Structure 1
Amino acid sequence: PPNGIPFSDLIFQCGSVEWSKPQVIQSIKNLLFYNLPRVQVENTDAPGFDREDTYGKNHLVWDVLAEEEADRFQDLGVGFYYAPEFPAEVYINPSQGNTLKASYGRGGFDYLKYICVNAYHFTYTMTYPIVVNIVDESAFGDKGFIFRFATPILVDHNQGNRKDFRITQFERLETDRDFCKRKQDKLFSVYAKDKMTGEDILDVNVTFSCVNTYDCYLGKTRNDGGVGRLSTLLPAFCSPGSVVVTHQDYATARKQLSPTNLEQRYVDVPLVPLKPLTLRVQKRKLINRELQDPISLEPGEYAVIFLNTQELEDFGSMREYPQLHGYTESQESYLDNLGGDLSKINLAKDRITYELNIVLLNADNEPIGGFIQDWTPDPNQIAGAEEVMLTVIEQIPHPINALQQAQMMMVLEDEKITKQIEHAFR
């Protein structure tokens, strides 16, 4: 996460961004210790700032004196001091124990769903003391005198406040603690079934979900008396809810629980098996709207493949070919979370229609072609294959500006052209 003290921002980074609350509070104390002595009162005996120092003039000069009193205190010096050992009460909202977390998610449409976003907005309510020193070096026959006093600083939700205010603390709810511990009193069984064979699947992770917002992990299916299932107590806070089942060899499945399920105390969840296929990409040049014979990608060229479907729960793949062309470490981590071996792509062993989007780019990361189509591959071909060869179109001549790129994308959606493209299984 970013260093320092988080306030409000959007971070385009994969994975949840977190901060340690004790470290943030210590950063606040250090900031006060180093910066408060730099604060000066306008029209007092102070060194002053360089006129080019815009930040200092705008943030570290306190113009507190009335205009008619501006000349009365020019022989006095004023200083402010805070020590890290001074007591301080700091409340940060929202927080979860000793952790501050950004809200993590992805975009929801086409390519945007592959952009990882962390959004956060934290407010700080604080009370802490500072010491104020007022120095008159000419007092008592130039012997000098220092008047020192302490005063509290009050901050209410990031705003200074000299009035009494009520501290409101919002703790993010912890799923296991707040929702999942109160259980129903009767066992409920979850059976995970291979959709193609009807066989029970073991080691399937089962989660109870309420309105796609609150999740409670229930456990894994296992061999229970010769039957593969998970028998457990469902959470009582939400009814009927749904169960989400996941397994590395199957597409994630969600099953809404019906009144019948709750009465009979079991549910069958069919899972679609996945086939990992080695990914290959070739191209066909489009010249005067005529497709040429397939050829390999040229050195420096690469394709970005987006594969989605609405027919499977939470299914989405993004791949580059050749593999890992110019990925950052965070992108590699994110892509790895999307589905294991990045040289392979998972396809369902069932008849599924995918949204297949491919972008072809040159060595300068400029789009020079692509492919856009609803694609329904034959599951029999998938079952017997080890690799899939996708074909992408290269626009000739290459587009050289945004308008030509937009025109190219329209051509790539032309069914008269895309229907001539075939993807092969080997």
Structure 2
Amino acid sequence: MREKRGAVKRAQLSIFMILGVLLLLAGIVWFAIINATERSSPVPREAAPLNAFITACVKDAGDAAMRQIGYTGGYADIPQSIAADSTSYLRAGPIDSLRQPYWWHDGVSSVPPLDFIREEAERMAAREFASCIDNLSAFRQTYNIAALREPIARVSFNEKDVSVSMSYPIHAATKDNATTFSQDSFEASLPIRFTRIYGLATTLMEREDKDAFIEHRTIDLMAMDENTIPLSGMEFDCSPRVWQQDAVRQRIQELMSVNLPFIKVQGTPYSTTQYVPQPEGEKETFGNSYYAQHYLWDLGAGEFGGLRTAFTYDPRWPMVFNARPGSNGLLKAEPQQGADILSKICLNIYHFTYDLSFPIKVDVIDDTPQQPYVFSFAFKASIDHNQPSRGNTGYALFDQEDTIVSDEYCANKDVEATVLTVDNTTGDPVKGVNLTFVCGRYSCDMGQTEWFGFGAAAGIVERFPRCVNGVLKAKAGGYLGSSQFMQTEMDGTTTLVFLTPTKEISAIKVVKHPLSNPGQAQLPSASETASIVLAAKDSEFKSYTLSPSSATLPLQFLTDTQHTYHVSIRLLTDEEVTGGYEGDWTPSLAQLQGAESITLHAVQQATGTDEEQFAFMSDLGTHSAKVPLPQLT
């Protein structure tokens, strides 16, 4: 009987334990549902239209930024250093926004890094967002709204999409204060696989530098049309052979424009029906065609996730063309006649070499989103004496000036460091230098340098935020901007910043001279603009300007020592090149130090055919010798 009562008690205890566990599980599920509901619906119903509008603006702004990045090959805004140099970009359309800076040109690799592109997208997204919301004017009759600061965009390139986060703290309340709404940031996602797209684009550019694929295909095309494009030959003929250089160039351009678009990339989807079959012979398929053997480009990187590529060459784009030996626009092969009994036999041996430089545009296309995304970039192909010429002589620097300022990061300064600023030429201290410390995404204004020790030195002693690989940037009037690495891991370090002195000249005058009468000087017309580039021949220093210009863009010269500059000028009328100048110039330090203005000279040919204008620009260096060197006054 006692055992029976014990068994009943144990059974009751088990039931209570089971019920307790069930109640605990029910509570967990209940709170999970409540929390999930709260997370999915944080916006009051009355504020839902405002939240939806802001979120839509985030998405539209991010999309606009990414489309612009796609149009230009990685830029939200074309840098002034590129816009002022017409040889460094491809004008791929009738409007300025369709300028595409070259990823490679004239021996310089200029592929924008992914971090640079992200910051370009963030800057444009913030700008487009501010325009879209229009200070929330459409909602101010319904809400009292306080925006606590200007919008700051954060863009992340993910494997499958691009996420945009807009930091834009606002507080809103209905007019009767019955409903309030506060939010710090707004999110949106774009179905753009930019990481994968950029990976294909940069892989293709790296392999072009290594394989010279475009140059080899162009040389093949030239060799296949020996009647129109002479290379090397031997003929038993007593008649001279003559070719028009313009006709040869036009034929090369025609062959490229027709054939280069058939280039396919292994690992991307492509049509096997789009190729030019042989006019006769056995039945041809793409697999056994010339195009499958020579126009299928293996980048050695496997599959690219369904991305497509397209290659474009347009004969209207500028081409540098030089053929030798040649004169007066002609290529000639003169026969050599035998002697004595061989007097009636003539041997005509010829060998011509060509230099070509021309743009290629590549589109990387993602068809998977509802609205396909296209990323376009351009580069120059280069042929020297019938051989590919893709040696890199330098790399472009991408100065990410508009780094996002973070008050939170910059406020956390706990490492004391000394920075001294010194003239690189005289060794004298330099006062009034603006210093900026950059660590990754964050930029901190560190103030200006002041005198130390009654003028014995100039610098600052400040606390810096911690950073292993920071960059210290220095700017001062009369000096070249400086950037150098700086570690802020321990107290008491001293960093020396050496500044190179410069001379700026804002009074710029351009005089043009007709080729037919170089002694005659004329001022450019109101519709003409001069693009001016000065490049020091012994360093990577360049200075750019436009004349006339709505902005103050002075020409800058190095004054640490005497330098020789290559002067490149292009006279532009509606972005069509009508004249220019190419030549070297060595101003003395005394001339620069006393100068207040500069006069630059350019040579211009009277209007002629496209072929005549092309020939004139191809020999611009020779024509430039007929006009005066730049003059400092």
| Paired amino acid for 2:501 | V
Could you list the runs of 5+ residues in structure 2 that have no partner in the other structure? 1-55, 69-75, 80-119, 156-161, 167-186, 192-402
In the other structure, the counterpart of 2:262 is: none
In the other structure, the counterpart of 1:360 is: 571
Question: Matches of 1:405 and 1:355 in 2, distance apart?
Answer: 23
In the other structure, the counterpart of 2:545 is: 318
Does residue 188 (structure 1) correspond to residue 417 (structure 2)? The answer is yes
Q: Could you tell me which of 73, 78, 99 is aligned with 2:151?
A: 99
TM-aligned CA distance change 1:22 to 1:407, over 3 Å:
closer
Q: Could you tell me which of 601, 625, 632 is aligned with 1:391?
A: 601
Question: Matches of 1:422 and 1:206 in 2, distance apart?
Answer: 38
Could you list the runs of 5+ residues in structure 1 that have no partner in the other structure? 31-83, 86-95, 104-120, 126-154, 160-172, 325-331
TM-aligned CA distance change 1:178 to 1:124, over 3 Å:
closer
Question: Matches of 1:278 and 1:156 in 2, distance apart?
Answer: 48
In proportion to residue count, which structure has more strand? 1
How far is 1:210 from its partner?
4.1
How far is 1:221 from its partner?
0.3
Q: Could you tell me which of 587, 590, 603 is aligned with 1:380?
A: 590
Does residue 423 (structure 1) correspond to residue 616 (structure 2)? The answer is no
How far is 1:425 from its partner?
1.5
In the other structure, the counterpart of 2:559 is: 349
* 1:105-124 alignment, distance < 5 Å: none
* 1:403-418 alignment, distance < 5 Å: 403-414=611-622, 417-418=624-625
How far is 1:101 from its partner?
4.8
Does residue 295 (structure 1) correspond to residue 521 (structure 2)? The answer is yes
* 1:231-380 alignment, distance < 5 Å: 231-239=461-469, 241-257=470-486, 265-287=494-516, 292-297=518-523, 299-300=525-526, 302-309=528-535, 316-320=543-547, 323-324=548-549, 332=550, 335-336=551-552, 339=553, 344-350=554-560, 351-361=562-572, 366-380=576-590
* 1:225-236 alignment, distance < 5 Å: 225-226=453-454, 227-236=457-466
Does residue 23 (structure 1) correspond to residue 133 (structure 2)? The answer is yes
Question: Is 1:275–1:383's contact at 8 Å kept on the other side of the alignment?
Answer: no
Question: Is 2:422–2:429's contact at 8 Å kept on the other side of the alignment?
Answer: yes
TM-aligned CA distance change 1:315 to 1:236, over 3 Å:
farther
Query: What SS is found at the alignment partner of 1:265?
Result: strand
How far is 1:367 from its partner?
2.6
Question: Is 2:436–2:472's contact at 8 Å kept on the other side of the alignment?
Answer: yes
TM-aligned CA distance change 1:365 to 1:236, over 3 Å:
closer
Deviations along 1:353-380, one digit per CA (max 9) or x if unpaired, are 5453211245x66432101345443222
How far is 1:306 from its partner?
2.6
Question: Is 2:585–2:630's contact at 8 Å kept on the other side of the alignment?
Answer: no
TM-aligned CA distance change 1:419 to 1:229, over 3 Å:
farther
Percent identity of equivalent pairs: 18
TM-aligned CA distance change 1:303 to 1:375, over 3 Å:
farther
In the other structure, the counterpart of 1:73 is: none
Question: Matches of 1:25 and 1:301 in 2, distance apart?
Answer: 38
Q: Could you tell me which of 194, 216, 224 is aligned with 2:444?
A: 216
Question: Is 1:356–1:374's contact at 8 Å kept on the other side of the alignment?
Answer: yes
Deviations along 1:238-297, one digit per CA (max 9) or x if unpaired, are 33x3321101222212233489x998523142231324252122223223xxx7215132
In proportion to residue count, which structure has more helix? 2
- Normalization by structure 1: what TM-score? 0.51
Question: Matches of 1:377 and 1:262 in 2, distance apart?
Answer: 45
| Paired amino acid for 2:522 | S
CA RMSD of aligned residues (A): 4.5
How far is 1:102 from its partner?
9.5
Question: Is 1:304–1:360's contact at 8 Å kept on the other side of the alignment?
Answer: yes
Question: Matches of 1:102 and 1:28 in 2, distance apart?
Answer: 25
Question: Matches of 2:525 and 2:446 in 1, distance apart?
Answer: 49
Question: Is 1:179–1:237's contact at 8 Å kept on the other side of the alignment?
Answer: no
Question: Matches of 1:285 and 1:22 in 2, distance apart?
Answer: 50
- Normalization by structure 2: what TM-score? 0.36
Q: Could you tell me which of 138, 157, 173 is aligned with 2:189?
A: 157
TM-aligned CA distance change 1:262 to 1:243, over 3 Å:
farther
TM-aligned CA distance change 1:195 to 1:296, over 3 Å:
farther
